[in-house]
Chains A and B, each alone.
Chain A
Amino acid sequence: MQKEAFVQLCRQLSSRRDYNLSQAILNAVGEHRKYNPHKLPVIWLETNDSGDNNIAFMSSVYPYLQEVFDEMIDLLYSNTFMAAQGREALEILFRPAKKFRGRFTLVVEGAVPVKDNGLYNLIARTENHDITALEAVTALGGMAGHVVAAGTCASFGGASAARPNITGSVGVSQVLNREVINVSGCPVNPDWLVGTLAHLLMYGRPELDSLDRPTMFYGFTVHRHCQRRSYFDQKNFAQKLGDIECMFSLGCMGPRTGADCPYRQWINHVSWPVKVNTPCIGCTNEDFPDGSTPFFTPMSKKSPGQ
């Protein structure tokens, strides 16, 4: 399959119950691997986040986790999944990093605290040394072929950097002197992450938007594709949570949030926030959450500076 066709596939939009973009991705990956037997070597670091992105990743459907592990990626290091533990785990962090230097993909889940030399996050400790997230991300980021920020904390700081941000947390791109592919979302939709990894495996770097996010997922605003767009156009606004009209009046961030939630939806593609009569809170945005609060106040009256 050609790159354009693959991107087209990712963009294919449907709200049918049996819609499974990811199954199609898997077929495409299978086809690709006839020619390229190597899976994508991945090192996954968890830094300052809530762990929501690895939980979201576990909810990937077609491919399920087993297929992701079997067919797509070699997850060489992951605090969440790896069977190894302690010093033995740490050793297999640095060995493959050298072996696959320039070829592995570094996935970072979480923001990187930089205040006080990054002591607010230690990815591991040895008997005589503390390894900060700042150190690990800087070192491994320099050796990786691609760096992927999974979730909004890793992409832009996110909730971990919410004001007053007493740990001085920043997105991964702030500590690396290189391009970081931001797959934002709080959490990331598993399709966005798995789709990005699939693109890297088969075609290399995906096309990115001005915030370095894959355009195939973030290229249009939620507002543009929202099922309730007709209500907005007729100025028919919800009065309260639970109403079926446009949620703009209740703080919806859809008009300035790039994400395909209205089509793709979540967890086997069954629903998304507006579908359950609540506003989109703009969780893929660079200024989430501060730019979205108060969550239930219309956009023009939000108070990010407070």
Chain B
Amino acid sequence: MQRIMFSPVTRLSGLLSVEVFVDQNRVVEANAGSTMFRGFEWAMRNRQVSDAVYMTQRVCGICSLAHGAAASYLLDEMYDHDLTENAQYLRNIMYAADFLQNHIRHFYLFSLPDFVRMPGRPPFHGQNLTDARLNARDNQRLVENYFNAVKAAQQSHEILALFGGKAPHQHSFVHGGVAVSPTADKITQALALCKEIRAFIRNHMVPDTGLIARVYNDYYHIGVTPRCLLSFGLFKFGPKNDRVLWPGGVLYQDQLTFPRVDQIQEEITSSWFAEAQGELKPAPGKPGAYTWIKSVSYAGRPFQVGPLSRMIITGRYNGGTATMDRICARTLETLLISELMEEWLKAVVPGPPPIRQKSEPVKNEVTALTDAMRGTLLHSARIADGQVISYNIITPTVWNFSPKNSSGQRGPVESALVGTEIPRPDMLLTILGRIIRSFDPCLSCGTHALDVGNNIKLVLRI
């Protein structure tokens, strides 16, 4: 048996090392490890809870808006705000814009070099793609689209900046609504950008994904995970964020149920944390541990989250749970969200900033759930006198990159890797890289997930 440390796994956000054990051309064990830790939950303590929207966006640069959104939903409930329809349209337009930049960048900048021969100059030198199958013409077209994608993703962030002030870490999507005034010029500008982005997605991203899926169709059978899929729902409407356009769900043994927060559990068997006096403390170098990510489970089982889970749970995709399914579902979702964004841009009514913030919180404990780009996102806060006592975050990456728990269950990424056949030794990194990146890894996010007080409250708000 051979032990190989796949590190660094490049082309993702943050730092990831995956230790694999290969025996007779087959991966027999995998330990997926996040190697960075920042401890955001500690940083949130003793701050005013209204700081959460801007502070928690700093958890993640590629999905920052999702953290700001989760924190806003949390504060909306804590302060008992009423959201206007215009505020929800604007929020969802910004949400959509950040989704589009994320998915476009992931497919082209991070995933594409797993399938396409890139030019042999920096930063693409040393690619060593041992299983390149595209003909020269298609290959060239996709390389060109890598750089066209740079522009489409930039345009997506331009829409976010138009309404949010900047990107990443936008400013206007806060609790109580949106601080920017939707005016005809901004709406028109965003619509024009949206049109170009949609054209890129329709004319390039969708066919390019189709091409990769056809040429590498064996990846519909490689990197398969158990069919345990979870979503907290995406795109909230209604005065109390109570209408969810894409409802959440738990898919287990082909039964679809609504998610319940009380079924979520975290543990630290394989994580660099130790428990002392009822509190978790970081414990780098803890024997047997290999990651800063905790194991998270729903009803005692690891669950996969992300575009594939959303698309299957909402009945938009009926494929399997392999590498290519994840890639295709992400592109499908990109297309759908670009259409929604245009619809919402046309629905916004020009007017004053749709924001109304009440001054005093009426609740001291709230858990907010949404989906981010990579899957389920949970923010949970306990406060006193407006100051944070504890703030907990469970990011999508924690679900997908869960390390082995006390009963030895593997998280989705580890499950996808184990059992993979490696026909030739020089194909190892190429194959593993494709599987791992199909989950859209973001380790900057994963590293903060720490339920400091171990007190996720049993509040159901899907």
Q: A166-B39, A266-B161 are in contact. Are A273 and B166 (CB under 8 A)?
A: yes
User: Cβ of A55 < 8 Å from any Cβ of B?
Assistant: yes
Nearest A-chain residue to B185, judged by Cβ: A17
Chain B hits for A283, CB < 8 A: 169
User: Cβ of B265 < 8 Å from any Cβ of A?
Assistant: no
Shortest Cβ gap from A301 to chain B (Å): 11
Give A119 to B283 CA distance when docked, in angstroms.
10
Shortest Cβ gap from B78 to chain A (Å): 15
Q: Which of B150, B160, B284, B357 has a CB less than 8 Å from the CB of A267?
A: B160
Bitwise, B38-73 to A at CB < 8 A (1) or not (0) is: 111011011110110011001111101000000000
Q: A159-B55, A166-B282 are in contact. Are A79 and B10 (CB under 8 A)?
A: yes
Query: Could you tell me if A125 and B17 are in contact, using CB atoms closer than 8 angstroms?
Result: yes
Query: Could you tell me if A125 and B35 are in contact, using CB atoms closer than 8 angstroms?
Result: yes
Residues of A within 8 A of B (CB): 46-56, 58-61, 64-66, 69, 73-92, 113, 116, 119-127, 130, 158-160, 162-167, 169, 186-187, 240-242, 266-268, 270-278, 281, 283, 289, 293-297, 306
Q: Which 5 A-B pairs give the minimum distances between C-beta atoms? A: A52-B61, A242-B353, A119-B284, A84-B126, A267-B161
Give A159 to B169 CA distance when docked, in angstroms.
12
Q: A242-B355, A273-B171 are in contact. Are A84 and B150 (CB under 8 A)?
A: no
Give A67 to B121 CA distance when docked, in angstroms.
13
Shortest Cβ gap from B8 to chain A (Å): 5
Query: Could you tell me if A61 and B55 are in contact, using CB atoms closer than 8 angstroms?
Result: no
Chain B hits for A47, CB < 8 A: 36
User: Cβ of B320 < 8 Å from any Cβ of A?
Assistant: no
Most chain B beta-carbon neighbours within 10 Å: one of A88, A163, A277: A277
Chain B hits for A69, CB < 8 A: 121-123
Give A270 to B71 CA distance when docked, in angstroms.
25
Nearest A-chain residue to B284, judged by Cβ: A119
* Stretch from B151-159, B294-302, B308-316, B338-346 at the A interface: B151-159
Chain A hits for B14, CB < 8 A: 46, 51
Query: Could you tell me if B166 and A266 are in contact, using CB atoms closer than 8 angstroms?
Result: yes
Give A229 to B151 CA distance when docked, in angstroms.
34
Chain B hits for A56, CB < 8 A: 61, 167-168
User: Cβ of B165 < 8 Å from any Cβ of A?
Assistant: yes
Chain B hits for A158, CB < 8 A: 58
Number of residues in B with C-beta < 8 Å to the partner? 90
Most chain B beta-carbon neighbours within 10 Å: one of A59, A123, A272: A59
Query: Could you tell me if B181 and A277 are in contact, using CB atoms closer than 8 angstroms?
Result: yes
User: Cβ of B442 < 8 Å from any Cβ of A?
Assistant: yes
Q: Besides the contacts A65-B150, A167-B39, what 7 more A-B pairs have beta carbons closer than 8 Å? A: A78-B123, A85-B9, A125-B19, A242-B353, A266-B161, A267-B154, A276-B180
Nearest A-chain residue to B46, judged by Cβ: A306
Chain B hits for A116, CB < 8 A: 284-285
Chain A hits for B11, CB < 8 A: 79-83, 85
Nearest A-chain residue to B147, judged by Cβ: A66
Chain B hits for A90, CB < 8 A: 7-8
Chain B hits for A61, CB < 8 A: 154
Query: Could you tell me if B5 and A289 are in contact, using CB atoms closer than 8 angstroms?
Result: no
Shortest Cβ gap from A306 to chain B (Å): 5
Query: Could you tell me if B122 and A278 are in contact, using CB atoms closer than 8 angstroms?
Result: no
Bitwise, B62-101 to A at CB < 8 A (1) or not (0) is: 1010000000000000000000000000000000000001
Most chain B beta-carbon neighbours within 10 Å: one of A65, A73, A160, A270: A270
User: Cβ of B15 < 8 Å from any Cβ of A?
Assistant: yes
Nearest B-chain residue to A92, judged by Cβ: B126
Query: Could you tell me if A276 and B147 are in contact, using CB atoms closer than 8 angstroms?
Result: no
Query: Could you tell me if A51 and B13 are in contact, using CB atoms closer than 8 angstroms?
Result: yes
User: Cβ of B329 < 8 Å from any Cβ of A?
Assistant: no
Query: Could you tell me if B38 and A169 are in contact, using CB atoms closer than 8 angstroms?
Result: yes
Query: Could you tell me if B42 and A166 are in contact, using CB atoms closer than 8 angstroms?
Result: yes
Shortest Cβ gap from A237 to chain B (Å): 16
Q: Which of B43, B161, B285 has a CB less than 8 Å from the CB of A162?
A: B43
Give A90 to B180 CA distance when docked, in angstroms.
45
Query: Could you tell me if A122 and B61 are in contact, using CB atoms closer than 8 angstroms?
Result: no
Shortest Cβ gap from A25 to chain B (Å): 17
Q: A75-B122, A119-B284 are in contact. Are A293 and B51 (CB under 8 A)?
A: yes
User: Cβ of B444 < 8 Å from any Cβ of A?
Assistant: yes
User: Cβ of B433 < 8 Å from any Cβ of A?
Assistant: yes
Query: Could you tell me if B55 and A289 are in contact, using CB atoms closer than 8 angstroms?
Result: yes
Shortest Cβ gap from B452 to chain A (Å): 11
Q: Which of B58, B123, B162 has a CB less than 8 Å from the CB of A83?
A: B123
Q: Which of B55, B58, B151, B162 has a CB less than 8 Å from the CB of A270?
A: B162
Query: Could you tell me if A271 and B166 are in contact, using CB atoms closer than 8 angstroms?
Result: yes
Chain A hits for B28, CB < 8 A: none
Chain A hits for B241, CB < 8 A: none
User: Cβ of B422 < 8 Å from any Cβ of A?
Assistant: no
Query: Could you tell me if A272 and B165 are in contact, using CB atoms closer than 8 angstroms?
Result: yes
Query: Could you tell me if B105 and A89 are in contact, using CB atoms closer than 8 angstroms?
Result: no
Q: Which of A58, A82, A127, A241 has a CB less than 8 Å from the CB of B174?
A: A241
Chain A hits for B61, CB < 8 A: 49-56, 187
Q: Which of B122, B151, B169, B429 has a CB less than 8 Å from the CB of A85?
A: B429
Shortest Cβ gap from B284 to chain A (Å): 4
Query: Could you tell me if A124 and B17 are in contact, using CB atoms closer than 8 angstroms?
Result: yes
Q: A52-B64, A293-B51 are in contact. Are A122 and B444 (CB under 8 A)?
A: no
User: Cβ of B455 < 8 Å from any Cβ of A?
Assistant: no
Q: Which of A78, A81, A242, A293 has a CB less than 8 Å from the CB of B47?
A: A293
* 22 contacts across the A-B interface (CB closer than 8 A): A50-B60, A50-B445, A52-B61, A56-B167, A59-B154, A69-B122, A83-B113, A84-B127, A85-B8, A88-B429, A90-B8, A92-B126, A120-B36, A120-B38, A121-B15, A122-B36, A240-B355, A242-B179, A281-B171, A293-B47, A294-B47, A295-B50
